[in-house]
Structure 1
Amino acid sequence: MNSEINLLNFRKKINEIDKKIINLLFKRNKISKKIAKIKIYLKKNIKDKNREKEILLNIYNKSKKYNISKKYIKKIFISIIKYSIKIQKKIFRKLITKKISILGPKGSYSYYAAKKYCKKKNIYKKKFIYKNFKNVEKYVKEKKTEIAILPIENSNTGKINEIYNILEKTKLFVVETICLKINHCLFSKKNIETKKIKTIYTHIQPFLQCEKFIKKFYKKSNIIFMKSTSYAINKIINKKNNNIAAIGNKKNINLFKIQILKKNINDNKKNFTKFIVLKRKKNIKLNNKKNILLIRFSYNKKQFPNKIFSILYKNKIEIKEIICNKSETKNHKNIYFIELINNKFLMKNINIILRKIFKISKNIKIIGNYKNKNLI
């Protein structure tokens, strides 16, 4: 009887030890994943024979202390090392160099939005290709890059029409949004008096976001618009005269040899820009995580398309935002972009809803599926 009880007790102890072993293996695998990402960042190989020898030597020395067979312990740890390499190979395959097209060059707000996206997605190896708005999207379409990142809306100045013109025709798909806090600064090559500034180089968007500041202090200054904030900063760096300035991101102080003349020059201190991440189209998978479904349709009539919104209302579909954009085409029809909040009604009735809307507008199309985020 006692022997039976002892057997059960020892088995329980074995089970507890097995649980601890599994838990430790799980922790070891998590650390292996982190090591893989560091290896990618440092451009090191997955396999490190010297490190494997070092592990096995440490294990052999410890196994002698506990009188465990060298062959036995070798088999176990070679299997563990092999599995660790397998995990790291998977991560290496996922984190291969991503080519991303953005409005640039280095130091632009698009550059910082792309960096934020890469950090979130653990993309350690990336190559940014700097283009104008149209070519940012075109490069993904032509498979020259995998991802396009474009600014679409600012909390102060509203929608960026040029991006909605791209979305009107694009075959790409919006897979994510990035919200970036905007902190405009006035830069110059040398720390000179602000009154001496005769010319300011800037992109149109920062100008609109700092218009009150510019009109108040630099009403008589010459404003020259550039392709991006980083182009504006490069312009003042390469010019010989010092009575010039540029508007750009506060972080640019770490990238360029420039001085900050004035910080936080936004007219509204709560200033955010929303960026969209575009990829080549994949299968749309709706889920119940309250994602956003972005649909696009055209409407030829001048009046508001009440019939379409009536269909959405009757099917209990929640609308987050409606954007109306005048088409660039000859007929100048209205193009509507509607963010629908995914819920059980949308998941259940999406095909029926789209068929009903298709009778009113033949150009209806789903062009995005991404997480629901507010701009502020």
Structure 2
Amino acid sequence: MPDTPLSLDEIRTRISQLDHELLTLLAERRRLSVDVAKNKIAIQKPIRDQAREQALLEKLVSDGSAHQLDAHYVLSIFHTIIEDSVLIQQRYLQALANPDNQRPVARVSFLGSQGSYSYLAARQYFSRKQTELVEMACDSFKQVVETVETGHADYGLLPVENTSSGSINEVYDQLQHTRLSIVGELTLPIAHCLLTVGHQDPSHIDTLYAHPQPHQQCSEYVDTLGKIKKVYCSSTADAMQQVADLNQPNVAAIGHAASGELYGLTAIKTDIANQQQNYTRFIVVARKPVKVSKLTPAKTTFIMSTSQQAGSLVECLMVLRERGINMTKLESRPVLGNPWEEMFYVDVEANMASDVMQSALDELTTLTRYLKVLGCYPSETISPTEVSLPDSND
């Protein structure tokens, strides 16, 4: 007699049971990640072992195929799990290196109020550290910096670049003069939406409120709306607040769908950015630098001014290349008050405490007119380990 098929409710019950089992196993794996970190400290082994990660992923892909699981599906799951494990180990080492920074509550300044992208980034960054926030909304990047400099905030969050609109020059200009140190970073996926009061037809919109950066990042979609009035706001939160206050069917704001709900707004068009892969990189600044364990993947950011002689910048960059130091960012900004003189901002994948980075900084000091380290901090961008997938034709 054939088995009686399960009802939909029975299937859903079984799926819920499996989901609960998966969560239990993931929690256990997280606890083991801390044990891994403790062992790596004892033997002074770096947090990331990409050869080990590659071997593990290849075996998981092979084991998954025996269960008819697609290789890309397996990799997408375990890339996320490995990233989480690396960040957990990293936080454990950072807590040991910086015991005075382990606070249950942190005062954090950022651009805009509730619902701004800086607000979302602040919540995500500090939730990873299990730190409660005292949110301090600011009207400008200058105010974010000053709030930390004066001691009214413990940390400030600043966006520095976007994959669609590029570098945020105003922030780089603030970094040129501040005494603060960069102590962390975060890359946040940006999901721009068209937000209105109620379900409006986009063709009826004649006024659009947004911060200049989202305006720029969504310029192609904005052009499809025709000749509309563009109102630039101090933050995304300010744009959403103004649209909510106006309560009119012909006005809209650019913002995140979840943030729009805070202001009673509805997303009538999603994914309106020029690029589908739209990310903003934020930095976290504080009055004191952090110590970064040599076992932790780290970045160092510094600024330098070279002489006006031909090849001066190239000579400085060769210092990094000769030592195998990977540069991830090079940005130039004019030096205020000194016409035609530029300050260069450099991000490298290196720990300032390492011998190779110290050697590079020593040589750069002799080659430049001015050099200042803005910070050395744990890298929160965990690049997935590449794995060669089996040929589907085999």
TM-score of the pair, normalised by structure 1? 0.70
Give the AA of the match of 2:231: I
Structure 1 residue aligned with 2:297: 290
Moved more, 245-254 or 205-214: 245-254
Structure 1 residue aligned with 2:286: 279
User: 1:239-289, CA deviations, whole angstroms, 9 ceiling, x for partnerless residues?
Assistant: 153211111111124312112221111121111111100011236546143
Match status 1:99 vs 2:134: no
User: 1:84-140, CA deviations, whole angstroms, 9 ceiling, x for partnerless residues?
Assistant: xxxxxxx9x944432111001111000000110121111124233323101101111
Q: CA RMSD in A?
A: 2.5
Match status 1:126 vs 2:134: yes
Structure 1 residue aligned with 2:177: 169
The equivalent position to 1:323 in structure 2, one of 321, 325, 331, is 331
Q: How does 1:289-308 map to 2 (within 5 A)?
A: 289-301=296-308, 303=310, 305-308=313-316
1:155–1:375 Cα contact (<8 Å) kept: no
Match status 1:335 vs 2:343: yes
2:195–2:257 Cα contact (<8 Å) kept: no
TM-score of the pair, normalised by structure 2? 0.67
User: 1:10-53, CA deviations, whole angstroms, 9 ceiling, x for partnerless residues?
Assistant: xxxxxxxxxxxxxxxxx9xx9xxxxxxxxxxxxxxxxxxxxxxx
Give the AA of the match of 2:275: N
- Measure, in 1, the Cα distance between the counterparts of 2:346 and 2:165: 19
Q: How far did residue 375 of structure 1 move? A: 9.2
- Measure, in 2, the Cα distance between the counterparts of 1:316 and 1:157: 30
Q: How does 1:165-204 map to 2 (within 5 A)?
A: 165-204=173-212
Q: How far did residue 352 of structure 1 move? A: 3.6
Match status 1:256 vs 2:281: no
Select the structure of larger CA radius of gyration.
1
- Measure, in 1, the Cα distance between the counterparts of 2:293 and 2:129: 21
Structure 1 residue aligned with 2:20: none
- Measure, in 1, the Cα distance between the counterparts of 2:238 and 2:310: 42
Give the AA of the match of 1:166: Q
- Measure, in 1, the Cα distance between the counterparts of 2:344 and 2:110: 25
Q: How far did residue 360 of structure 1 move? A: 2.2
Residues 272, 375 of structure 1: alpha-carbon distance in 2 compared, 3 angstrom cutoff: farther
Q: How does 1:54-133 map to 2 (within 5 A)?
A: 94-133=102-141
- Measure, in 1, the Cα distance between the counterparts of 2:122 and 2:367: 38
Q: Which runs of 5+ in 1 are unaligned?
A: 1-26, 31-90
- Measure, in 2, the Cα distance between the counterparts of 1:249 and 1:240: 18
Counterpart secondary structure, 1:254: helix
Larger RCO, structure (CA 8 Å, separation 6 or more): 2
Aligned residues: 285
The equivalent position to 1:357 in structure 2, one of 344, 364, 385, is 364
Structure 1 residue aligned with 2:274: 267
1:152–1:163 Cα contact (<8 Å) kept: yes
Q: Which runs of 5+ in 2 are unaligned?
A: 1-27, 32-98, 384-394
User: 1:215-259, CA deviations, whole angstroms, 9 ceiling, x for partnerless residues?
Assistant: 12x121111100011111111111153211111111124312112
Counterpart secondary structure, 1:313: helix
